[in-house]
Amino acid sequence: MSMISGDKSSTEILSLKSSDNEIFEVKKEVVLESITLRGMVEEDEFSDTLIPLPNVEGKILSKIIHYCQKHTEARAKVNGSEGAADSKEIKDFDSEFINVDDKTLLGIILAANYLNIKDLLDLGCQKIADNIKEKSVEDVRKTFNIKNDFTPEEEKAIREENLWAFD
Amino acid sequence: MANREYSGEISGLCINEVLTDDELQSILSKLPNDKDKEVFGMVCKRWLHLQSTERRKVCARAGPLMLRKMATRFTRLVELDLSQSPSRSFYPGVTDSDLAVIASGFRGLQILSLRYCKGVTDAGMVALGSGLSCLWSLDVSYCRKLTDTGLKAIAEGCGSLRRLHLVGCKYITDGLLAVLSKNCHNLEELGLEGCSNITDSGLTRLVDGCHHIKVLDINNCSNIEDIGVTSVSKACSSLRTLKLLDCYKVGDDSILSLAQCCKNLENLVIGGCRNISNESIKSLASAYCCSLKNLRMDWCLNLSDSSLSCILSQCKNLEALDIGCCEEVSDTAFQVLGSLGQDMSLKVLKINNCPKITVLGISMILEYCKKLEYLDVRSCPHVTKVGCEQVGLKFPECCHVNFTGRLFELDMVI
């Protein structure tokens, strides 16, 4: 993602309003981490006013802004090159950042998808995927509190199909 | 902070009530391991649906009942591999009724392999032709019962066909090539090895409509002569691979035409084309100085030291060369290697049955072909393991040398 050059973007502040009416003042360059918001902002509709985000509650939005701020800063340090994303500092930040309770994690994933922040969505989904890897089916159900809606016959049929259909 | 494990039991949160299919699909994409994907699919019906629709390719050994189930489950399948092994296949094997299920159940199928499914007949092909309009790749090699009737139905029904392999389908005639010419203008790869009824007029007709052929395999189509090959070279300038093994009637006209028209040739098999003379081989060498990578010309009895030298010095990107049984070739041909001033890119060199080559030639080869991985010197009377050791020849570690009878996997590379 390239940074828009020029003074206007580096000092311009935008306001984001969460679903529970909390208002966050954020630098434009940080807001642009979200492809969704970038689309809104570049159409110049919201340059002076509030951007309402009815899908995202304050607690989650605050975390997301923190993520975007950190990543924008890290990228600026390496002058916009792709190397920033790989540095140890950012990796440590990311793993600490995503180490949250279940409700927050799911909230972050939903919001990252809605706001189209690819790296954050990948981070959240990877965290969940790590909790699925190498587990048995029953353990996965327990972990994610999912009810088994297959009948024993249906389960047997799928196991059989999986024997016949491989890669 | 310690790594927090997700625990739905404690939080009481059910992931399925919070996330949409979109996010669940992103999570699935982060599971590269097939076993984990399988587990994902068994968790609940919603996850099964996501996992099944994500699946693009399936290999299967299944009868019609199982195929029907797979059709309902894997709705977005684009590739299906039902190929068998040449020696053992499960009984009764893939049948025409299986193909009928595939034709009606996997409407979006693009790639299908039925290699060695010996039980299929024309009726199965007709079913596929009428159902799979998106099919662009079909491999029915060694489905020996197939005739023009079945394959014509494929050509007529699958207009976007790009890749068709019919190795060993010996009943195929020029008639099929005419239909391909009419309907399948995007054809890029055609494998007709062993379709011995094919003639020059069939090939000429084929390339009348199919100008984009890049890979043509007519190994063992012994009726083919220069007329057919020149038609192909004139019409298909983007030809990359041409295989003419044992097409013994093919001669200089073909080689000269190829050198003139097909500037991007990378792989050429003219083994057994014993009428090809030295002069045309030299024109080959100068035409393909950059593109040629694999050249098989075993049994090209006219091959002399001077034309081999031309190949070695001019084809800078040559990786595999087979000049087995070219009895005129001697050590002299390899002297040119010393004056090239560059590393040879040759990885595979087969000089079996070349009675004039001695240990001297081998030492020159080893000196200048540093990337050599396989050297075949079987049945060279003057090149033996003992002989090489006696003159102190050191074979590099990565290079396998074949002195005696056993076939090695790299023999099949060209």
Cβ-nearest to B39 among A137, A142, A161: A137
Assessment of whether the complete model's pTM goes beyond 0.90: no
Q: Which of residues 46-85 of B touch A (CB under 8 A)?
A: 47-48, 57-62, 66, 69-70, 73-74
- From the CA of B50, how many Å to the nearest CA of chain A? 14
> Regarding predicted confidence, which is higher, B411 or A73?
A73
**C-beta separation of B124 from B149 below 8 A:** no
Cβ-nearest to A125 among B26, B57, B59: B26
> Regarding predicted confidence, which is higher, B79 or A9?
B79
Tell if the CB–CB gap between B23 and A109 is shorter than 8 Å: yes
**C-beta separation of B34 from A167 below 8 A:** yes
| Per-residue confidence band for B88, with pLDDT thresholds at 50, 70 and 90 | low
- From the CA of A29, how many Å to the nearest CA of chain B? 26
**C-beta separation of B80 from B60 below 8 A:** yes
Q: What percent of chain B has pLDDT over 70?
A: 95
* CA nearest to B94, candidates B113, B114, B112: B114
Searching chain A, which residue's CA lies closest to the CA of residue B38? A162
> Regarding predicted confidence, which is higher, B377 or A7?
B377
- Output the CA angle B90-B91-B92, nearest 5 degrees: 125
pLDDT at A81 over 60: no
> Regarding predicted confidence, which is higher, B291 or A8?
B291
**C-beta separation of B258 from B284 below 8 A:** yes
What backbone phi and psi angles, to 5 degrees, belong to A14?
A: -115, 160
Residues of chain B contacting residue A133, judged by C-beta atoms under 8 Å apart: 31, 33, 36
Q: Looking at the DSSP assignment, which residues form a beta bridge with residue B400?
A: B374
Average pLDDT, chain B: 90
Residues of chain B contacting residue A100, judged by C-beta atoms under 8 Å apart: 4
What span, in angstroms and rounded, lies between the C-alpha atoms of B316 and B293? Answer: 9
> Regarding predicted confidence, which is higher, A118 or B92?
A118
* Cα separation values, B215 from B163, B189, B210, Å: 9, 5, 12
Express each pLDDT in A84-115 by its tens digit. Answer: 455 888 899 999 999 999 899 999 999 999 99
pLDDT at A29 over 70: yes
What mean pLDDT is predicted for residues B245-267?
Answer: 94
Q: Looking at the DSSP assignment, which residues form a beta bridge with residue B210?
A: none
| Per-residue confidence band for A167, with pLDDT thresholds at 50, 70 and 90 | low
Tell if the CB–CB gap between B39 and A136 is shorter than 8 Å: yes
How many residues are listed for chain A in this entry?
167
- From the CA of B22, how many Å to the nearest CA of chain A? 8
* CA nearest to B368, candidates B333, B337, B401: B337
Average the pLDDT over each of A119-123, B44-48, B50-54 and give the range with the smallest value: B50-54
**C-beta separation of A84 from A5 below 8 A:** no
Helix (H, G, I), strand (E, B) or coil at B349: strand
* Cα separation values, A142 from A136, B33, B44, B309, Å: 10, 21, 12, 71
Helix (H, G, I), strand (E, B) or coil at A52: strand
Contacts of A138 (CB under 8 A, 6+ apart): none
Tell if the CB–CB gap between A110 and B8 is shorter than 8 Å: no
Q: Is B412 on the interface with A (CB under 8 A)?
A: no
B256: left (phi over 0), alpha (psi -120 to 50) or beta: alpha
**What's the one-letter identity of residue B205?**
R
What span, in angstroms and rounded, lies between the C-alpha atoms of B125 and B143? Answer: 11
- Reported ipTM: the value is 0.86
Which residue reads 């950012």 in tokens?
A: A90
Instruction: Give, as one character, the DSSP assignment of residue B97.
Output: H
Average the pLDDT over each of A71-85, B184-198, B297-311 and give the range with the smallest value: A71-85
What mean pLDDT is predicted for residues B292-309?
Answer: 93
